[in-house]
Amino acid sequence: MRPEILFPLFAPVTSLKGVGSRVAPLLEKLAGPIVRDVAFLRPHSVIRRERSSVAAAMEGAVQVFQVRIDAYKRPRAPQQPWRIETHDETGLLSLVFFGRFGGDLEAKHPVGSRRVVSGKVERFGLNLQIAHPDYLLPPERASEIPPFEAVYPATAGLPPRTVRKFALEALERTPDLPEWQDGAWLAREGFPSWREALALTHAPQGEADLSPLTRHARRLAFDELLAHQLAMAQRKADRRAAPAPAIARGDIAPRIEAALPFALTGAQQRALADLRGDLAAGERMSRLIQGDVGSGKTVVAMLAMAEVAAAGGQSALMAPTEILARQHFETLAGPLSDQGVAAVLLTGRDKGLARAEKLRALASGAVKVAVGTHALFQDDVAFQTLQLAVIDEQHRFGVAERQRLQAKGEAVHLVAMSATPIPRTLELTVYGDLDVSRIDEKPPGRTPVATRAVPMSRLAEVEARLHQVVAQGAQAFWICPLVSESELIDLKAAEKRAQELRERIGPGVGLVHGKMSGPEKDAVMADFADGKIGVLVATTVVEVGVNVPNATIMVIEQAERFGLAQLHQLRGRVGRGSRESACLLLYDPPLSETAQKRLDILRRTDDGFLIAETDLELRGGGDALGLRQSGFPAYVFADPIAHRDLIAAAGDDARLILQRDPDLVSERGQALRVLQELFDWRAASPLKDAG
């Protein structure tokens, strides 16, 4: 239940003065539906208003003048403005009004009266002028002009000044809340109280006060991070508290491992040890395995499934597409069945008797490992003793889908796999409720992908070269980006490119795009995997993780538009065999300096974690959208770059708090509940409810 002290903040925006049915939707769009959201708006810049004389006026500056009104000049043509001529002891200043009626102005500001006027000074010919002054007031009201004015984000129909008025009123309504931070930490960081920090945010005295590094900004960021970390730590603790079958080491997995044609890398061994530790602990496991495409996650998952099988339990591995499920099955089924562990593949294609047969084998426990797609969690699929769920490309599944699979057993252990490398500093914010194992080492013997940036002007050359290698039996991906607002336009571009390539290269050019149905996509992908198609043109949907060892060339159009992590993932589709492969990053010149640096890092390294880390640096925190795409939560105050140090501190703090006071009943615990309510952590990690 929400504490009463927060009621004013959770009132609808319409409870603010002046927010009626016209303004409310605009304010909601800008801030959010409740008063808290308006109080959480932050100015993006500060105007400093300096007093000046007309003679000392500075063009472009926002200044305040004391003048006397001399005359009104009506426009000589309709598109011309009304002008008010004024002066002070040092010179003449015109006030300019477009689209306003001078008579109305004159009634309010008659000739001969003194006025304080403020706005941006412009020069028009020889004249100094202010167009549409921000303030035009009688001298006794001069104090209404603030020396510093915070400028708020605005939207059509809702100018910055109006937003500021609402924000200040929302701040007024904001109560003092009980302190939830540790006193010693506050003192060490020199942090103000929460209410004070918020007030300072709304009262900048200069640009420096808007920096994310001020004490008040850091305080608010830390509060927000702590609220989130606490929520994730609680979920983790809840899951931990749930008992799950303790699965000891058996003798099947070591035999499978010994029979593999390769040795596990050190990183794979570490990940496997993590999984074994979790399985044996008697608590429910929720672990994420992070590692580049091709780093060998599936093998590790297979060995964990073998441990479960040795203990008599069942496992399910779920992949987002049929072709991926099929590939996994082909990898796993042999090694498992060689050691007497039966596996089945279950996809949407299974129908009738064959399907019934597979379902019977799963229900009876005759089959220990199921590999499949969404078909795995259909209602009529039952397991005898499902103990481990492995989710490949976890971000492709919704929470509900994972839960439906896990619901097919009791206290099912969860392993999620992801090929999207998250920088270590952000790991806590994206996956704070999971344990993470990183596979940061590639199996030996891979030839690095030769990566080159090529301007679009050399397209014809690229196509000619592609023609040559395809004629020799190589295969290539050709990625057309989703760049315009309209998917339809992008689709047209991809179709056009496919057509053009067909003219140059021949009929073996396929097209796969986001508007196709799952089975349609799978069919084209399967043709490509089987070598029936030489060049696969795709919008960005090239199924993550698909293994086409014969594909050695990756062409990416408008590479400058992609996130680094995405480019890296796309590049990971090639270079899977031992043959030399290439990645061509086609770009529209000129490249910005940052874009150049980004493409450059790809040429220099193949380490997904390093690339993700660099990507983060280069974004400089300015690319909130891109970050959100990589799973970073939509924080209001916390900035992933500027507040990196606070992320770790908040994570440590959250763990410590829950150790000492798991149910948050102490005085500080109660205050922390207010904090959690305040930030309302519903939107958390993509796996937040996985367990």
Question: How do strand 475-479 and strand 413-418 relate by DSSP bridges?
Answer: unpaired
* Nearest partner of 602 among 452, 492, 399, judged by Cα: 452
DSSP per position, 327-348: HHHHHHHHHHHHTT--EEEE-T
CA distance 563 to 601: 12
312 binds ligand ADP (CB under 6 A): no
320 binds ligand ADP (CB under 6 A): no
> CB–CB of 391/415 below 8 Å?
yes
Segment contacting ligand ADP (CB under 6 A): 6-14, 259-267, 470-478, 617-625? 259-267
Q: Which of 153, 192, 443, 514 binds ligand ADP (CB under 6 A)?
A: 443
Q: Which of 93, 232, 293, 582 binds ligand ADP (CB under 6 A)?
A: 293
Size of the site for ligand ADP (CB under 6 A): 14
CB closer to ligand ADP out of 261 and 590: 261
Segment contacting Mg ion (CB under 5 A): 22-30, 355-363, 380-388, 544-552? 544-552
Which single residue is written with the structure tokens 């996650």?
Answer: 297
CA distance 514 to 491: 9
Residue 120 Ramachandran class (φ > 0 left, ψ -120 to 50 alpha, else beta):
beta
We find the least distance from the C-beta atom of residue 320 to Mg ion, in angstroms, to be 11
We find the least distance from the C-beta atom of residue 446 to ligand ADP, in angstroms, to be 8
Give the one entry of ligand ADP, Mg ion, none that residue 124 binds, where binding means its C-beta sits below a cut-off of 5 to 8 angstroms depending on kind. none
* Nearest partner of 39 among 454, 599, 660, 636, judged by Cα: 636
Contact residues for 139 (Cβ-Cβ < 8 A; gap 6+): 66, 114, 115, 116
Contact residues for 2 (Cβ-Cβ < 8 A; gap 6+): 10, 677
User: What part of residues 518-557 is at the interface with ligand ADP (CB under 6 A)?
Assistant: 545
CB closer to Mg ion out of 508 and 545: 545
Helical pair 297-310 and 322-338, crossing angle rounded to 10 deg: 50
297 binds ligand ADP (CB under 6 A): yes
Rounded to 5, what percent of the chain is helix, strand, coil? 45, 20, 35
CB closer to ligand ADP out of 198 and 288: 288
Give the one entry of Mg ion, ligand ADP, none that residue 229 binds, where binding means its C-beta sits below a cut-off of 5 to 8 angstroms depending on kind. none
CA 394 from centroid of its chain's CA atoms: 15
We find the least distance from the C-beta atom of residue 297 to Mg ion, in angstroms, to be 5
We find the least distance from the C-beta atom of residue 296 to ligand ADP, in angstroms, to be 3
CA distance 594 to 398: 34
* Nearest partner of 639 among 619, 620, 621, 614, judged by Cα: 621
265 binds ligand ADP (CB under 6 A): yes
User: What part of residues 189-228 is at the interface with Mg ion (CB under 5 A)?
Assistant: none
Give the one entry of Mg ion, ligand ADP, none that residue 153 binds, where binding means its C-beta sits below a cut-off of 5 to 8 angstroms depending on kind. none
321 binds ligand ADP (CB under 6 A): no
262 binds ligand ADP (CB under 6 A): yes
571 binds ligand ADP (CB under 6 A): no
CB closer to ligand ADP out of 441 and 600: 441
294 binds ligand ADP (CB under 6 A): yes
CA distance 481 to 633: 25
We find the least distance from the C-beta atom of residue 525 to ligand ADP, in angstroms, to be 16
CA 119 from centroid of its chain's CA atoms: 39
Segment contacting ligand ADP (CB under 6 A): 108-116, 294-302, 403-411, 561-569? 294-302
545 binds Mg ion (CB under 5 A): yes
Give the one entry of Mg ion, ligand ADP, none that residue 294 binds, where binding means its C-beta sits below a cut-off of 5 to 8 angstroms depending on kind. ligand ADP
330 binds ligand ADP (CB under 6 A): no
User: What part of residues 212-231 is at the interface with ligand ADP (CB under 6 A)?
Assistant: none
577 binds ligand ADP (CB under 6 A): no
CA distance 271 to 277: 10
Residues near ligand ADP (CB under 6 A) are 262, 264-265, 268, 291, 293-299, 443, 545
